[in-house]
Structure 1
Amino acid sequence: MIRTIQLPFYAKLSLILISLICFATIFCMGKDIITPVLMAFLFAVLLLPIFTLLNVRLKFPRHLAAIICVLIFAAFIVGILVFISYQVKDIANDFDTIKKNTNVFITEIHKFVKDNFHVSIGEQKKYLDTVTKDSVKNGGVVTLGSALLSMTDLLIDCTIIPIYTFLFLLYKDHFILFLAKLVNKEDHSTLKAILAQIRVSINNYIVSLLLEMIVVSVLTGLGLWIVGVKYFVLLGLITGILNLIPYIGITIAGAITLLATLSGTPDTSIFLSILLVNVVVQLIDNNLLVPLIINSKVEINAFVSIIGIIVGGAAAGISGMFLAIPLLAILKIIFERIESLEPWGYLMGNHMPKKFTWRIRKVKVEN
């Protein structure tokens, strides 16, 4: 008979913190290996309904069904990239106009600084030249090397993630049987419920992200069309895609939009209109779309989400920020199903109790 050891709270808390530190250390040290695996896992879960349809109902062989699922996903990504590249080609044809309007816009900025801050144009250019030379001298080679390394990593990830996704789909039952062997037979029902809830949660999250991307793209494109921006369809789509990257995505999208706008006019008033469009879309996204579409699906409170995104970004960059929410959702599901970890699952949840009061029973002390 196995005897259960009851540990005091401080011992349990210490073990939990040590485990978290160990997992975080392992992830940071092996992020280049672990991140593509986790991304492929998410894509495999998303493609699982298609795989089940092909393999179970249509009786396709497992290998063929997995290959078709990966090809469908790859075709979707390639289709978006082809559309973007086709639109970017039109922008490239306006490069001379963009260059000319950029010079006009920079000149207006110089005049604005001169008139309001009393700094001559010569002093401004001298300062910019000094900053540029120092930047190239101190970090130019490193930046070039980092860029080449990042491109290499991106190409490797684009090759290895589809392979991982294929293998996840192919060995799905094998992995489930492995997990079943790790737990006792009486806990198999709990394991089955956890896996089913994880699958539903990840599917809902990714579908919600795609829906959010579409809505943001449509709203941004519509706003840019109203203010008279050229290539509003492409810029709306780019904004929707980059909006999937928390915090920095919308900033990059805004910079690209401003640059592309120079193909039409250097007028500063249109830049204010673009800024207004981005602010309005972000207000709608943060206050309406995210609570209704994202948070309602993963059921993680905003405080934990922000901390998770920051930690994920510090650990693995943009990929870590993207993986933070689904990983937190998986941890929340597991914690809620394990009695000793249930308080942590509640802490991560989005529950809003109406009112809580401490009930203290008065004890009469007899002399």
Structure 2
Amino acid sequence: MIRSIKLPFYAKLSLILVSLICFAVIFCLGKDIITPVLMAFLFAVLLLPVFTLLNVRFKFPRHLAAILCVLMFAAFIVGILVFISYQVKDIANDFEAIKKNTNYFITEVHKFVKDNFHISIGEQKKYLDTVTKDSVKNSGAGTVGSAILSITDLLLDCTIIPIYTFLFLLYKDHFILFLAKLIDKENHAALKDILSQIKVSINNYIVSLLLEMVVVSILTGLGLWIVGVKYFILLGLITGILNLIPYIGITIAGVITLLASLTGTPETSMILSILLVNVVVQLIDNNLLVPLIINSKVEINAFVSIMGIIIGGSAAGISGMFLAIPLLAILKIIFERIESLEPWGYLMGNHMPRKFTWRIRKAKIEAKVNQ
């Protein structure tokens, strides 16, 4: 464990809080630059075993091994996107059926509201028109500009992240030597332990995410097939991928599934069946898959995870939400190996002591009372 200079508690607490605030401010101001770097770092750690295999076992040059790793990873992502695009093209051919069934479903909803809440269809449409006009007025032309900027940022990230990943793999030993030069030689063993644990933790987390994605995709696809949804394979895959985005991902997947189901029938029973499938899969995911697959690997308690995801989403959007858990895992590993920060590492962990009792000797209590 890395030992630190002894300071009063208030001084240590102040320095820790100031450091956290500085890191948060730097991340918020430079999120457009820092986020792709962090994403590339995670992908580089994931690809590190393949890079080591090519470079050490098969004697590939470092440059060639790094390029092959990035190309294989890019081919995997492109393969998934190509499969989804072909399936989406089939759904687009059923656009007229979706439009017709959507209008029928909206009409049924209007009738339901009219019969149960005594609001005429004209009043409902008038209210919806007012809300729509207000939304368009508030967004204005800025929506188009924001969309263009978002697409530009996405294209830039898709270009720069593979380059960063390649450079992380290529200069891996260079970065490790830099970290070793920052600290004293007697702490090199602790540094090696921290780096190895970070590697294992990130690998376990990303592999666990991929495993969770596969299981959720299979369960959702199977459930949609049972209830009779036409594009159950595509919708199961989309649900598994979007489930990687905490909180909002499953909501987006549910809306897409409901829209795709309108290619077949607008019946309310079908929509309720789809909602039931999503609810059941999410219950299995949240109560079985996440505790067994995710939390058991990163060992971060639910409170810290939720807070980190919320803060990450506020700071950097969807990318921040995705990066929150691995960054928390890295911080926890570092905190647990620095003496003055060890309590913070314990706070982030998911240790559940059966019962805590204050172990204070009676003599100390009596001495304080006498004083």
With normalisation by structure 2, the TM-score equals: 0.97
- Aligned equivalents of 1:62, 1:196: Cα separation in 2: 21
Aligned to 1:185: 185
Counterpart in 1 of 2:317? 317
Alignment of 1:199-348 (within 5 A): 199-348=199-348
CA distance in 2, matches of 1:342, 1:122: 64
Cα shift at 1:126: 1.0
The residue number in structure 1 matching 2:155 is 155
For residues 17-44 of structure 1, the C-alpha deviation after alignment (integer angstroms, 9 at most, x for no partner) is 0000000000000000000000000000
| One-letter amino acid of the structure 2 residue matched with residue 82 of structure 1 | V
String of CA shifts for 1:206-239, please: whole Å, max 9, x gaps. Answer: 0000000000000000000000111000000000
Ranges of 4+ aligned residues in structure 1 off by more than 6 Å:
none
Find the aligned partners of 2:53 and 2:94 in 1 and give their Cα distance.
47
Task: Return 5+ residue gaps in structure 2 as ranges.
Answer: none
| Equivalent-residue separation in structure 1 for 2:270 and 2:140 (angstroms) | 33
The superposition leaves residues 101-126 of structure 1 with CA deviations (integer Å, 9 ceiling, x where unpaired) of 01100100110111111111111111
Partner Cα distance (1:185, 1:163) in 2: 33
Name the structure 2 match of 1:36. 36
- C-alpha deviation, 1:137, in angstroms: 1.9
CA distance in 1, matches of 2:126, 2:268: 24
Q: Which has the higher contact order (CA 8 A, sep 6+)?
A: 2
Distance (Å, rounded) in 2 between the aligned partners of 1:288 and 1:131: 40
**Mean alpha-carbon deviation: is it higher for 140-149 or for 104-113?**
140-149
Q: Secondary structure at the match of 2:90?
A: helix
Change (3 A) 1:5 1:323: closer
Alignment coverage as a number of residue pairs: 364
User: Is the partner of 1:153 in helix, strand or coil?
Assistant: helix
CA distance in 2, matches of 1:151, 1:65: 31
Q: Provide the C-alpha distance between the structure 2 equivalents of 1:362 and 1:61, rounded to a whole number of angstroms.
A: 68
Query: What secondary structure sits across from 1:40 in the alignment?
Result: helix
> Which residue in the other structure is 1:194 paired with?
194
The one-letter amino acid of 2:322's match is: F
User: Cα–Cα, structure 1 residues 100 and 7, in superposed 2: closer, same or farther, change >3 Å?
Assistant: same
* In structure 1, distance between residues paired with 2:311 and 2:247: 13
Number of the residue aligned with 1:61 = 61
Moved more, 231-240 or 144-153: 144-153
Paired residue for 2:20? Answer: 20
> Structure 1: which amino acid aligns with 2:84?
I
For residues 295-329 of structure 1, the C-alpha deviation after alignment (integer angstroms, 9 at most, x for no partner) is 00000011100000000000000000000000000
Structure 1 residue 5, shift from structure 2 partner: 5.1
One-letter amino acid of the structure 2 residue matched with residue 217 of structure 1: S
Alignment partner, residue 356 of structure 2: 356
Q: What is the SS of the residue equivalent to 1:85?
A: helix
My pick for the range that moved more, 247-256 or 135-144, is 135-144
Q: How far apart, CA to CA, are the structure 1 residues paired with 2:263 and 2:37?
A: 41
How many Å apart are 1:145 and its aligned residue?
Answer: 1.3
My pick for the range that moved more, 348-357 or 173-182, is 348-357
- Provide the residue aligned with 1:111 in structure 2: 111
For residues 41 and 133 of structure 2, what CA distance do their matches in structure 1 show?
45
How big is the alpha-carbon RMSD for the aligned residues of Structure 1 and Structure 2? 1.1
Which letter maps to 1:222?
A: L
SS in 2 for 1:245: coil
Q: Secondary structure at the match of 1:280?
A: helix
The amino acid of 1:57's aligned partner reads R
Q: Give the secondary structure class of the aligned counterpart of 2:229.
A: coil
Alpha-carbon distance between aligned partners in 2 of 1:82 and 1:5, rounded to the nearest angstrom: 55
Moved more, 124-133 or 357-366: 357-366
CA displacement at 1:6 relative to structure 2: 3.0
Q: Unpaired segments of 5 or more residues in structure 1?
A: none
User: CA shift at 1:139, angstroms?
Assistant: 0.7
- Structure 1 133/74 Cα, relative in aligned 2: closer, same or farther at 3 Å? same
Question: Which residue of the partner structure matches residue 84 of structure 1?
Answer: 84
CA distance in 1: counterparts of 2:295 and 2:254, whole angstroms: 25
Amino acid at match of 1:218: I
CA distance in 2, matches of 1:138, 1:335: 45
Letter in 1 for 2:141: V
In structure 1, distance between residues paired with 2:105 and 2:5: 71
SS of residue matched to 2:141: helix
